[in-house]
Structure 1
């Protein structure tokens, strides 16, 4: 039925674009013209009939619509129909007052029929019927629909932020695609707009009912005055003519108004769940045998009372009893079918396929059951939003798309514990208290706070889990206070940084090349696979990421590889060439725009020993030498950290890969650079030698 209304409005607008643009203004101009231009009684008959038919069509459209949002044009349709009805009231009032002295047919046959047939030609009965219809419309239907519209609009608008957060949480969790999330957001916005419009549109019906009452009294008083003074009619004759015409006119307007009020009430009281209204009523009201059985018993008791209309009550009791019996039989059949279902057709066992092999997620987060509220946005959890922010930030910093983090609960963990997995293998874990905040000790505080002593899972700092109410007190003492979601998100961020090289694979590298091809097609075409296989390109990128060198400058990396590829295909050699090309970026991330770079060097004797070790045993250091060198480097790194300066070890290019791999895990704050990786614009200041 809404499609019928839409087609009708489209036909009114016309076939081409110009007519479609002029359809609505022309319709409004016609309605306004009806208020000013006198209409013939025959035209009034057509318009009154069309008004009644349109009200019936809209009522049926509301009844058969599956859900309220499918009739989103209803507020606009309601406004247009109300304007049409008010314009007809003005036009009919003009005809009644001008020609009411001529008889009951002066304003058309529709008004005459309602004045004689509906009310029997008695203006007193007509007046009473009109008042009853107006009271029903104004006091019951319109007032109730207005209240329901107001409450529905308020509830929908209040729930709007929560629904949007739930959609974002489902999107971050991978339960929705971007297109599905966009459609859900659009549906939520349309629902808010619809109920907000219905709240305002219901005021039209209320104003229309009030206008009908005022028009009735104005027509009667004005008709008596005009009939007796202008046309010389007697008081009783004028009262009869103008009252019948006015009552007929009022009934012709009030019946469509009552239909429209009922349409509004039905639409705003419908649930947002999709379904036929008639089917819902039948399944929810008349499907329970006990209800109909008790109703039949009550009607039967009333029917056997002497003096009551026994035949009517007993007949209805028999009908209700029969329906109750049929409903009970159907319920027994359904229960028997559910208890003894038909034997299922046993299909032959299927062979295992590759679809039965499950792939591990690149990044995973497992949480204990007490941490589930941190993940559930409906319970106010912020962890999903924090993880999304971490992925976005690291994607921009590192230079490739960080895969989604799949979160699941794990009953094997302790209630407040979490575990981070990489390709299905646990690599980090921690424990947080969802009802507390973590107060981190940055190294200088002015007191102690009460709570559960712990260690920061990310950096190993001393920390205390404090009550939420002690947050301000801890901050005044110098503690850095963070919530549990931030603790987990920060830990995850550090893990992603440390293992970024394990998250970059062939698909990610190819996606980077495809993106670069849009701006530098010739460079990509000559690089992979002409100059380098994709596997070597991936190894080079992984080598850079393992040493925390961002790959944002992919064009510079590709150009350096294209230049070095003819000389060597070894990933280590190619990575060294790329590091030289990215030297300005690497050094700037170490000490920013400072003109001097403080560096450590190897003592000549140690450097000579390492060169000999590299040539003799490949890439293996003698254990005693490695231990003593590690201790010396640790002392230098600690001294630089206390001075607030970066620790940089400057070595020959041939030794840099070996020493970088040697210190990567045990001394993550030590930056190992080759001599040719320091840009010419940066001055070197020697602060010590490792011996």
Structure 2
């Protein structure tokens, strides 16, 4: 029976709340006995205490999303109590034990003191807490509404990439909408508390003046007796109303100023204030110094300094203990992992797409506590490659390797070393391509990225080097530049099927038509990967995926040869290819092939799984390469980028012929030069 009765009350709680709200409205009209008023005042104080405690223990605003509505109801409840108490004060000169006790304790025989205390509470609530909370709620509402589109796009992206399920996405969208509604409601609900503070001042004035007039004119009291009775009751009534209102105002400020850190107020407050033991130790030193000032209470400051110093020492020992425990747990975890043969073997055979290993002397460059920014700079490399080349580089790992020289670093792609270099961590690298200022004192070296002559100098020599016109860079910039060029040069190796699938999935959001037409009906992910790798091998950006996929969709119906499809894509990307080769006059300087070489290569092209190759004799190959070298050394190309213009038929084969000796020479065909670009022939390769 008892369980059924509890269940019945729970099922009808909405009806009970509805009657309670209607009852609050009736309080404005129907007179209330003083005993019942005491009960309701006690209930009001209890509700305000519960509200501030709930606000302190919530970890996110949506756990107390009913707060704006509750703010309205509690404000209305206090107004009802004020009217009921005013009626009793003016009619009977008595409004219950709670109001009388509050008035007696605060006034204590001095009405001026009571009025001042009441006004201070009102000022603190109205000007300090309520005004600040209202402003914070207004700004939070604006920022939340402005951030909604971006957050919704993030949820959609997580859903499309499979990081969250459909149900989780629905919940995140619902929580996002509720959060926006909450801060929007709080922006208006904070005005309730402000209005309540103003009404309290008005009610106190009315009660005081009205009580004195009624006491003197109707109850034949002297002015002093009337003031004693009614001002005491009025102040007690105001305090009984404003103390809960102050608690709710504080709750409002706590709710709207909370950050999303997953902890309640108490844990966040103590955890963050005691998060830096050295700060407490420094504060203890300051207090100890203040205790020596003549006239100050020395004992108080010494006790506080001792307390803070002891707390700092205990927290420091606790931090050391946690660090030791963390190391022990990590070692224990490693031992347990090593004891499990299957997991250990899987870790041994797995390789990262790309990682950076540094010697012991370069560790400070990656230590954020020492001011190192290597991690952030490497993250910028991934962004730069995405912007310039259109590739998605997986996170690049950084490891220390004690087997390397102290200042050495190496770059690995899938576990294999592809580049290496050395840095001087506490020095600067000066480069002078002209070689005219090579007398700069320092350690001579070679810049690892472009092979330029360079000098390591001390940091205090920067100004001297810059005056001489040298290019001065810090060690991290040297490594990051080397890493960026390495990623670009090996981008085709880093573009795996998973990366291609990620690119295709991101394309589906805006260009679903071209993706659905091409994949998987006309091409597989693997075939698309081969085309993109062919483009990246020749340092052509694949950022314009729409044009690439539309070209493949148009031509993959007639051929499945990825080399031929790559040539079609190159024609579609003509402007992209020529953009970095033209000068300010919209012209391009090129070297062409003699008809003999064109015919020789065209008549000896052989197909293989790796593409087209020119099967010509070694003597002719040597003559062709030697002629290319002579012309490149004598021709002044745009931005120093050599370009050889060939016929479309032999372009892939000629590229295979030259890529081993001249990897940085651009081999383009006539079909890849837009009509509006002028072609200037600066030389001819011949036999």
SS in 2 for 1:548: coil
Alignment of 1:395-406 (within 5 A): 395-406=386-397
Which residue is 1:501 aligned to?
492
Of 56, 71, 76, 2:46 maps to 56
Preserved CA contact (<8 Å) 1:528 1:534: no
Preserved CA contact (<8 Å) 1:63 1:277: no
Preserved CA contact (<8 Å) 2:590 2:645: yes
Once the two structures are superposed, what CA deviation does each residue of 1:100-157 show, in whole Å capped at 9, x if it has no partner? Answer: xxx444xxxxx222366x48x9799865899799979979xx79xx89x99xx99xx9
Name the CA distance, whole Å, in 1 between partners of 2:385 and 2:391: 8
Q: In the TM superposition, what is the alpha-carbon distance from 1:367 to its structure 2 partner?
A: 3.9
Indicate the structure (1 or 2) with the bigger Cα radius of gyration: 1
Which residue is 2:4 aligned to?
none
Name the CA distance, whole Å, in 2 between partners of 1:596 and 1:414: 48
CA gap 1:654/1:250 in 2 versus in 1, 3 angstroms: closer
Of 210, 218, 226, 1:238 maps to 226
SS in 2 for 1:420: strand
Which residue is 1:555 aligned to?
549
Matched, 1:365 2:356: yes
Which residue is 1:293 aligned to?
none
Of 211, 231, 237, 1:249 maps to 237
Once the two structures are overlaid, the 10-residue window that deviates more, 70-79 or 517-526, is 70-79
SS in 2 for 1:42: coil
SS in 1 for 2:556: helix
Q: In the TM superposition, what is the alpha-carbon distance from 1:425 to its structure 2 partner?
A: 1.8
Matched, 1:686 2:664: no
Once the two structures are superposed, what CA deviation does each residue of 1:421-480 show, in whole Å capped at 9, x if it has no partner? Answer: 212222123344566554443548889766655433322234455666766665554444
Of 402, 419, 425, 2:416 maps to 425
- Structure 1 regions of 5+ residues with no counterpart? 1-6, 16-25, 106-110, 158-170, 282-337, 339-345
Name the CA distance, whole Å, in 2 between partners of 1:265 and 1:678: 65
Which residue is 1:601 aligned to?
592
SS in 1 for 2:635: helix
Preserved CA contact (<8 Å) 1:219 1:242: yes
CA gap 1:264/1:133 in 2 versus in 1, 3 angstroms: farther
TM-score by length of 2: 0.60
CA gap 1:528/1:43 in 2 versus in 1, 3 angstroms: farther
Name the CA distance, whole Å, in 1 between partners of 2:201 and 2:504: 75
TM-score by length of 1: 0.59
Name the CA distance, whole Å, in 2 between partners of 1:245 and 1:260: 23
Q: In the TM superposition, what is the alpha-carbon distance from 1:397 to its structure 2 partner?
A: 3.8
Preserved CA contact (<8 Å) 1:75 1:201: no
CA gap 1:451/1:519 in 2 versus in 1, 3 angstroms: farther
Name the CA distance, whole Å, in 2 between partners of 1:377 and 1:11: 59
Q: In the TM superposition, what is the alpha-carbon distance from 1:558 to its structure 2 partner?
A: 0.4
Of 635, 639, 642, 1:647 maps to 642
Matched, 1:667 2:662: yes
Alignment of 1:72-151 (within 5 A): 87=79, 91=83, 94-95=86-87, 98-99=90-91, 103-105=92-94, 111-114=95-98, 118=101, 127=109
Once the two structures are superposed, what CA deviation does each residue of 1:228-287 show, in whole Å capped at 9, x if it has no partner? Answer: 355422456535643553364255336536765897999999997736969x99xxxxxx
CA gap 1:602/1:228 in 2 versus in 1, 3 angstroms: closer
Preserved CA contact (<8 Å) 2:41 2:81: no
- Structure 2 regions of 5+ residues with no counterpart? 1-10, 140-153, 271-327, 329-335
CA gap 1:13/1:75 in 2 versus in 1, 3 angstroms: closer
Once the two structures are superposed, what CA deviation does each residue of 1:320-357 show, in whole Å capped at 9, x if it has no partner? Answer: xxxxxxxxxxxxxxxxxx9xxxxxxx99x977379666
SS in 2 for 1:520: helix
Once the two structures are superposed, what CA deviation does each residue of 1:669-690 show, in whole Å capped at 9, x if it has no partner? Answer: 3222346655565554432233
SS in 1 for 2:410: strand
Of 263, 274, 280, 2:263 maps to 274
Preserved CA contact (<8 Å) 2:359 2:406: yes
Preserved CA contact (<8 Å) 1:601 1:650: yes
CA gap 1:78/1:633 in 2 versus in 1, 3 angstroms: same
Number of residues paired by the alignment? Answer: 558
Which residue is 1:290 aligned to?
none
Alignment of 1:320-335 (within 5 A): none
Once the two structures are overlaid, the 10-residue window that deviates more, 396-405 or 218-227, is 218-227
SS in 1 for 2:581: helix
SS in 2 for 1:591: coil
CA gap 1:233/1:574 in 2 versus in 1, 3 angstroms: closer
Preserved CA contact (<8 Å) 2:442 2:455: yes
Name the CA distance, whole Å, in 1 between partners of 2:677 and 2:80: 87
SS in 1 for 2:522: helix
Name the CA distance, whole Å, in 2 between partners of 1:259 and 1:604: 93
